[in-house]
Structure 1
């Protein structure tokens, strides 16, 4: 501790608190020798030559201790991973050499620390998911699963400290966590971490809705707690009578999952019925686990009517990430549907800590499944032919959670994502089988390659030596492995066709005594309006372009055409970023928007997906056409745009002197009383003197739901309108919706 310099009293307390917390966590899972090594790693982390702070301003040593605490207590990893979490910052800061790590802690620690340093180095270069660096980052993950788990701990701690970052960094970090790391945590079975990440992402990308749901949950807590107690009481009595040892409690669902339900069901908060779930956790011996879980199921469904379509049995066949549980939905008091989850303490630890728990409970199938998953990831990432967008999309496909279980003719079990087809199954067997697949027999009946698989299907793949992959197959397959193999096969076919077309053209030109130059190729591509040179050669091979018709074109090349091409290229290079205005010009501007600080004379439009209006926090997104689309910071598409196309994001803000009319759409729900529409219209047009573009009302069973689109000057004006309409008698709720009607 005495080696620390330039650290204030608060930071010393934080270091001491995290230091003790980590040692307490280690005491429960590690030997005394392991703890001694961890103490040594902590001392190395705290004895840096100079103070080092993260972009948030937090001392790096504190962050490392916090990450190590997550690795130990929340993920449940051991000595090697804890030491790596403590040391990779120190090694990168040149305070400790890698060879010292090898000598003191061994080869495993050195390898993982090297992987973590690579990841951090790639972030410092470029965090854009579309960049080649991101392929390298994911490939580093796929080499050792502990690298992924430690980085997940790092990202979780960063999310917990996100309030210390500036507004732009908050958006970028939250978008990346939501796009990649939360799904990855889910795929690895780390449900607690995944849930906290998702809620954190929503807090910073859609704060208004996050705060709204949090407030509603707080307001309804007392009623919800009473309902849970009433639901549990009779079940608890029956379980005790059956001699079972158990814990039973209600668990409120996350804000993110509640918001998802509101969107999927297109319903307000008040109509979301499954705000919580009841969880029964049994203290059972491993040999009795399944029988005890089904015993609880029998007791619950004897007491409350079950919904047969909502039974989920992950006891008989666990998910590929090892998740085991029995879920059912029953009709509780007051005719409300309630989800009940039944599992043992072992299953619950696996559900919370995922893969790490499988190393504790040996013999679990999850580790084998995860090894196969990581192998599949490596196969996707190591293909050098893939472009960045394709490979990140395919990587995301590997993060599926819902699965179907199907069988080969010999009875071997195969896990595939929900929505997988016969063709996916064929490629899962072997890429050679997939390429020649022309159908299948499912449960003895003939089926096409497009047939979607169902749980329990037994599949015999049918092949033909004359069958070759086709471009349409990309719309048939659902797995990343199959997509990757189909694309690879198509490229091989296209390459062969292109080479054959080129040879055909060269032979014909040789007969005409004309040499095939780059200039001539570009002229021909332009003349025949081919998309690319390779496409041009393929069109020759396929007979789309007749080589004999080229003689007149190649004999008298039109230099004017070539000159025109050059002129067009120059014109295209003159992009919006060349028109930069000075500060003086900007101050006198009547533009409503200021884009990228001083950028002026830029074509922009307001995005229809979120309909920004004056006063909203906004950003610009450079469209493919060269113009700029203006989005709200909490646009539903913002996280993906920031993560996938971060390089196309530009700053934008409203010019305080600008005035304009903007369209805003409100969703209104209420009692279907006579004159309600007239009253709403009067408030808008007469009381507030606003222009109304449209109003649409749908009545059903005494209530109504409708939308109204109005023209407003800014968010203040819209806020006044919402408050006024809420006061109309019979109106339940008024909220702004994204898309313009």
Structure 2
């Protein structure tokens, strides 16, 4: 009862009396539900919900969150349903409890797929109402505080999960106090010996440092008093996990890290922040390049502060953070510091935007593993800040490119970008961005994402949007090719695609078990079903055939150079004007070969797998072609060869040179051309070089 009274007093300091009473009612109800249940430590189970509520009360959360904290294990561990809770405490509290219950099953040490599924549930619940996540973080924090009663293996598993997932989420939501505690408790459970040794070293170092810390603090306070700036100055302790991480990643000794003294100065107004900065820079010499202004440009999670590094007395480096009281509350409690539940918009807009971004990524991700891959990349950002042409600031992870920037502005801007300018200069789309630069994206109406962008984009939003577009495009292309192949196959039955009857489609869906007709067309286009076989299944039993015709009357028309479903064989490099055949390859769709290609010999007579193709009169684009040039070896000949190809408006993709003897060489070239006429022009220009003996196209 003492613990309940203490909580009640804490709640009365910021909540109305009827709200405090509603929380106590939830406590009484939970006590009855958990009657007879014990924790592994032997304590009554109700001590856990009470402790979780206490953590949230320290963060000054609203009454509904506190009620959900009291009841968060009721659905999971007792016979009470969500409907019972809704009837008794209202639908919002029931939704929160249900959201938290769904998160308790997270087993991160289990199969990757299940881990990802559960993580996906967590972010979905978080995007619906962030309070679900706050209750979950408080629940996890109390479990971490009482970890000692579990076996060593279980302690390590829970600690790993906390360090991998929960600490970064607490950081992203700006809840620094909880993040620091997660990291230190997780460190103690994961690496008990390392934790113990570091703690002993820190204790010993602290004794030697006390005098210097006091001296620096006094000099700062005296100078600020002189300038009439009201401020609270505290020496800031580095926590063990951060010391350990710095030692590991920066390969620094404990002494190097402990030689830096850290202080926090909390003032009244933003104006005082900048005045204090001026005073501090006057008092101690600032280190060039070490000043960061997170007040003018806050971090993604809403964190604001001025950071500077100075050389203090005795030559010791001093790290100083300067912030207002509101900023300090935001830094410690993050999204919970001013999340006003009356209106979703009044919360921390940056964090809300991140949570909404998660929901967008979730809708586009193909599966939960792909989703967790995107989000994990998003949880550990070292940020760069860049400007739009209109002067808006956009924060991106370190290493982000103009493509990441384009998708951060809007998905459509990303999907149609073709080039970029950084500070007015044209640059590559894969160029990493630097803080402070102005980025302009150049768009084209018919442009679309390039699959190669996936090799260099770093943001989750860009990666998931590109993959989503490519999957959608592949689906559309394969359905379109499936229609064309089926149309040709239906000729044998005296019909065509336009005249398909509904009864034929119904019959087909029963025979194949497909969900819809589009799915069957996609499978035909991908080469996973044969068009003639599908046409035979669609036809009434009286019209079905037991043989495959020797050839189909109408060839498929090819009208594009680039596609995800129609590809061009590298063994023979077909180009417009060449007689061509198509080969249906499962999963890849239609592969186009030259008619003379030896690789088709085995299936040439199988009309279902190998089909006649024609080039459409409208075909356009660049096609790769391979040819050889035999020439006399002379200085500058390769440059002359490249110049002739460039003059002919062709692009060299590959070039390799083999020496035949001391005087002659064979040059293998792969270039992009529009068709046979364009290739003939290129070869004629090359033949005109006096050193060239012979030019011919490679057959296979």
Please state how far the C-alpha of 1:121 moved relative to its aligned partner. Answer: 4.6
What's 1:248 paired with? 233
After superposition, the Cα gap between the structure-2 partners of 1:535 and 1:246, relative to the gap in structure 1 and judged at 3 Å, is farther
CA distance in 2, matches of 1:124, 1:272: 33
Contact kept in structure 1, 2:330 and 2:337, CA below 8 Å: yes
Please state how far the C-alpha of 1:304 moved relative to its aligned partner. Answer: 0.8
Contact kept in structure 1, 2:385 and 2:436, CA below 8 Å: yes
Is the partner of 1:358 in helix, strand or coil?
coil
Contact kept in structure 2, 1:18 and 1:69, CA below 8 Å: no
CA distance in 2, matches of 1:148, 1:249: 31
The aligned runs of 1:444-593 (5 Å cut-off) are 444-465=424-445, 467-496=447-476, 500=481, 502-503=524-525, 506=530, 511-512=549-550, 536-538=586-588, 540-541=590-591, 548-551=600-603
Aligned partner (choices 63, 77, 81) of residue 93 of structure 1: 77
Structure 1 residues not aligned, in runs of 5+: 1-15, 515-527, 558-741
Q: TM-score, normalised by structure 1?
A: 0.65
What's 1:378 paired with? 359
Q: TM-score, normalised by structure 2?
A: 0.68
After superposition, the Cα gap between the structure-2 partners of 1:345 and 1:450, relative to the gap in structure 1 and judged at 3 Å, is same
CA distance in 1, matches of 2:123, 2:598: 46
Aligned partner (choices 317, 324, 329) of residue 297 of structure 2: 317
Is the partner of 1:248 in helix, strand or coil?
strand
Contact kept in structure 2, 1:38 and 1:83, CA below 8 Å: yes
Aligned partner (choices 75, 100, 108) of residue 116 of structure 1: 100
Counterpart check, 1:71 vs 2:56: yes
What's 1:176 paired with? 161
Contact kept in structure 1, 2:401 and 2:432, CA below 8 Å: yes
When structure 1 is superposed on structure 2, of 455-464 and 160-169 the one drifting more is 455-464
CA distance in 2, matches of 1:281, 1:202: 29
When structure 1 is superposed on structure 2, of 504-513 and 442-451 the one drifting more is 504-513
- For the pair shown, the structure with the greater C-alpha radius of gyration is 2
Please state how far the C-alpha of 1:486 moved relative to its aligned partner. Answer: 1.1
What's 2:332 paired with? 352
Please state how far the C-alpha of 1:21 moved relative to its aligned partner. Answer: 2.8
After superposition, the Cα gap between the structure-2 partners of 1:454 and 1:343, relative to the gap in structure 1 and judged at 3 Å, is same
After superposition, the Cα gap between the structure-2 partners of 1:447 and 1:42, relative to the gap in structure 1 and judged at 3 Å, is same
Contact kept in structure 2, 1:250 and 1:278, CA below 8 Å: yes
CA distance in 1, matches of 2:405, 2:392: 12
Please state how far the C-alpha of 1:342 moved relative to its aligned partner. Answer: 0.9
CA distance in 1, matches of 2:83, 2:316: 62
Structure 2 residues not aligned, in runs of 5+: 483-523, 534-547, 553-569, 571-582, 610-700
What's 1:413 paired with? 393
Deviations 1:20-64 (A, max 9, x none): 332122111101111111111111122236322345554321111
Contact kept in structure 2, 1:540 and 1:546, CA below 8 Å: no
After superposition, the Cα gap between the structure-2 partners of 1:235 and 1:214, relative to the gap in structure 1 and judged at 3 Å, is same
Aligned partner (choices 314, 320, 326) of residue 334 of structure 1: 314
CA distance in 2, matches of 1:487, 1:169: 37
The aligned runs of 1:167-206 (5 Å cut-off) are 167-206=152-191
Please state how far the C-alpha of 1:357 moved relative to its aligned partner. Answer: 1.1
After superposition, the Cα gap between the structure-2 partners of 1:496 and 1:280, relative to the gap in structure 1 and judged at 3 Å, is same
CA distance in 2, matches of 1:542, 1:187: 49
Please state how far the C-alpha of 1:215 moved relative to its aligned partner. Answer: 0.8
The answer to which structure, 1 or 2, has the higher relative contact order (CA under 8 A, 6+ apart) is 1
Contact kept in structure 1, 2:417 and 2:447, CA below 8 Å: yes
Aligned partner (choices 257, 273, 292) of residue 293 of structure 1: 273
Over the residues paired in the alignment, what is the CA RMSD in angstroms? Answer: 3.3
Contact kept in structure 2, 1:76 and 1:353, CA below 8 Å: no
CA distance in 1, matches of 2:291, 2:550: 74
Contact kept in structure 1, 2:33 and 2:78, CA below 8 Å: no
Is the partner of 1:434 in helix, strand or coil?
helix
CA distance in 2, matches of 1:224, 1:512: 91
The aligned runs of 1:276-287 (5 Å cut-off) are 276-282=261-267, 284=268
Is the partner of 2:321 in helix, strand or coil?
strand
What's 1:231 paired with? 216
Contact kept in structure 2, 1:258 and 1:275, CA below 8 Å: no
What's 2:197 paired with? 212
CA distance in 2, matches of 1:307, 1:511: 82
CA distance in 2, matches of 1:269, 1:34: 49
Counterpart check, 1:106 vs 2:90: yes
Please state how far the C-alpha of 1:497 moved relative to its aligned partner. Answer: 5.5
CA distance in 1, matches of 2:3, 2:26: 14
The aligned runs of 1:534-683 (5 Å cut-off) are 536-538=586-588, 540-541=590-591, 548-551=600-603
Contact kept in structure 1, 2:106 and 2:115, CA below 8 Å: no
What's 1:368 paired with? 349
Is the partner of 1:551 in helix, strand or coil?
coil
Please state how far the C-alpha of 1:90 moved relative to its aligned partner. Answer: 2.2
CA distance in 2, matches of 1:470, 1:153: 43
Please state how far the C-alpha of 1:126 moved relative to its aligned partner. Answer: 6.2
Is the partner of 1:450 in helix, strand or coil?
coil
CA distance in 1, matches of 2:65, 2:37: 22
Contact kept in structure 2, 1:186 and 1:401, CA below 8 Å: no
CA distance in 1, matches of 2:85, 2:72: 10
Contact kept in structure 2, 1:139 and 1:382, CA below 8 Å: no
What's 2:17 paired with? 32
CA distance in 1, matches of 2:44, 2:110: 23
Is the partner of 1:327 in helix, strand or coil?
strand
What's 2:510 paired with? none
After superposition, the Cα gap between the structure-2 partners of 1:127 and 1:188, relative to the gap in structure 1 and judged at 3 Å, is farther
Contact kept in structure 2, 1:57 and 1:164, CA below 8 Å: no
Contact kept in structure 2, 1:49 and 1:95, CA below 8 Å: no
CA distance in 2, matches of 1:497, 1:364: 41
